[in-house]
Amino acid sequence: MTLRPDLAAIAAHVTPGSRVLDIGCGDGALMAALESASGCDARGMELDGELVERCVSRGLSVVQGDANLDLANYPDKAFDYAILSQTLQTATRPDLMMDELLRVGRRAFVSFPNFAHWRTRAALMLGGRMPVTRALPVSWYETENIHHVTVEDFRDLARLKGAKIERAWYFSNEKQIGAPAANWRAEFAVFELSR
């Protein structure tokens, strides 16, 4: 099974044998890859009960829960990595979720769709409407993405939270691209943070 590019980047850079919490783990694709290929002890959190059931039936340890509330129950630095893939922009308070992420994990991976990608900018500037793009395919009134974020916004938030950006990866059209002008060119970004 091929992983989504942002998940593949994360999977490739998690130290084998780590304890990992995947927040918003979906159907558990990343967790399964981390457990089978990297020998990690992976735990997941997912809001959607049907996805949780699929994870549990494939033998993964996943808790049905709301990352906005339930991260509080994990002890400090309980994990080597806390992973938040494509979930930050859905959080009630992304800034508080960043705090929790950096509290429960020694390091964190965060991936998100970049709202400053040129397609998004063009849709808004030329079309005058909230963008519906390849990366953000859902209309404004039904999208789960309630806090859109750009690469630059995220760098600012990391700075504000005293988090160090260890590494970053950028993707467009499912392929990794270089860092230059990433805030224009990246549809998705992945950051590795420490604090």
Partner 1 sequence: MNIAPVARTYTIPQPLPLDSGQVLEGAQIAYETYGTLAADKSNAVLVCHALTGDQYLASPHPITGKPGWWERMVGPGKPIDTDRHFVICANVIGSCMGSTGPASLAPDGRPYAMRFPVITIRDMVRGLVAMLDGLGIAQLHAVVGGSMGGMQALSLAANWPERAARVLVIASTARHSAQNIAFHEVGRQAIMADPAWAAGDYYAADARPDNGLAVARMAAHITYLSEAGLTEKFGRRLQDREAKGFGFDAEFQVESYLRYQGSGFTRRFDANSYLYITRAMDYLDIAEEHGGKLANAFAGTQARFCIVSFDTDWLYPTTESRHVVHALNAAGAKVSFVELSAPHGHDSFLLEHDQLDRVVKGFVE
- Chain residues binding partner 1 by CB under 8 A are 41, 43, 49-50, 52-53, 55-65, 70, 73-75, 78
Q: Tell the smallest beta-carbon distance from residue 3 to partner 1 (Å).
A: 21
Choose between 41 and 99: whose C-beta lies nearer to partner 1.
Answer: 41
Closest to partner 1 by CB, 70 vs 153, is: 70
Strand 19-23, strand 41-46: pairing: parallel
> Would you say 19 or 155 has its CB closer to partner 1?
19
CB of 42 to partner 1, least distance (A): 10
In the complex, the smallest distance separating the C-beta of residue 12 from partner 1, rounded to whole angstroms, is 24
Residues 6+ apart with CB under 8 A from 41: 17, 18, 19, 20, 35
In the complex, minimum distance from the CB of residue 163 to partner 1, in angstroms, rounded to a whole number? 23
Q: In the bound complex, what is the minimum distance in angstroms from residue 155's beta carbon to partner 1?
A: 31
Question: Which residues, 6 or more positions from 135, have their beta carbon under 8 angstroms from its beta carbon?
Answer: 113, 114, 117, 119, 120, 187, 188
Q: How far is the CB of 40 from partner 1 (least distance, A)?
A: 12
CA distance 82 to 194: 10
Nearer to partner 1, 49 or 128 (CB): 49
Exposed / middle / buried, residue 162 (Cβ in 10 Å: 0-12, 13-18, 19+): exposed
The Cα–Cα gap between 70 and 65 comes to 6
CA nearest 45: which of 32, 33, 61, 29? 61
Judged by beta carbon, residue 56 or residue 130, the one nearer partner 1 is 56
Cα dihedral angle (20, 158, 130, 46), rounded to 10 degrees?
A: 20
Calpha distance 83→116 (Å, rounded):
22
Looking at the Cβ atoms of 33 and 60, the one nearer to partner 1 is 60
